[in-house]
Amino acid sequence: MGLNGLTIATFIAGFIMVGFGLAKLGNLLKFVPYSLIVGFTSGIALIIFSSQMNDFFGLEISKVPADFIDK
């Protein structure tokens, strides 16, 4: 969605964080397992890294193949 979508998503995330803070819902985080947080963060990092490789290396591949990780 480009820069407009990024801006909207950023503001929505900020509003959600402020809303959770005002509602004192931060204590619910202790019920989320540490391994779940680490796994989710690592997965997102891998997806972002692999999707940016085209631009970093200057490749002309328009779509990353589904079996990219296997190769």
pLDDT at 58: 78
What pTM did the predictor assign? 0.51
- The confidence score (pLDDT) of residue 59 equals 72
Q: Cα separation of 24 and 30, whole Å?
A: 13
pLDDT at residue 69 is higher than 80: no
**Joined tokens for residue 20:** 């959770």
Up-side HSE of residue 36: CA atoms within 13 Å toward CB? 5
- Give the pLDDT confidence of 26-68 residue by residue, as tens digits: 888 889 899 999 999 999 999 888 888 877 787 776 676 777 6
Split at pLDDT 50, 70, 90, the class of 70 is: low
CA angle 47, 52, 56 (to 5 degrees): 150
Domain boundaries, the chain: 1-29, 32-71
Rounded distance, CA 15 to CA 10, Å? 9
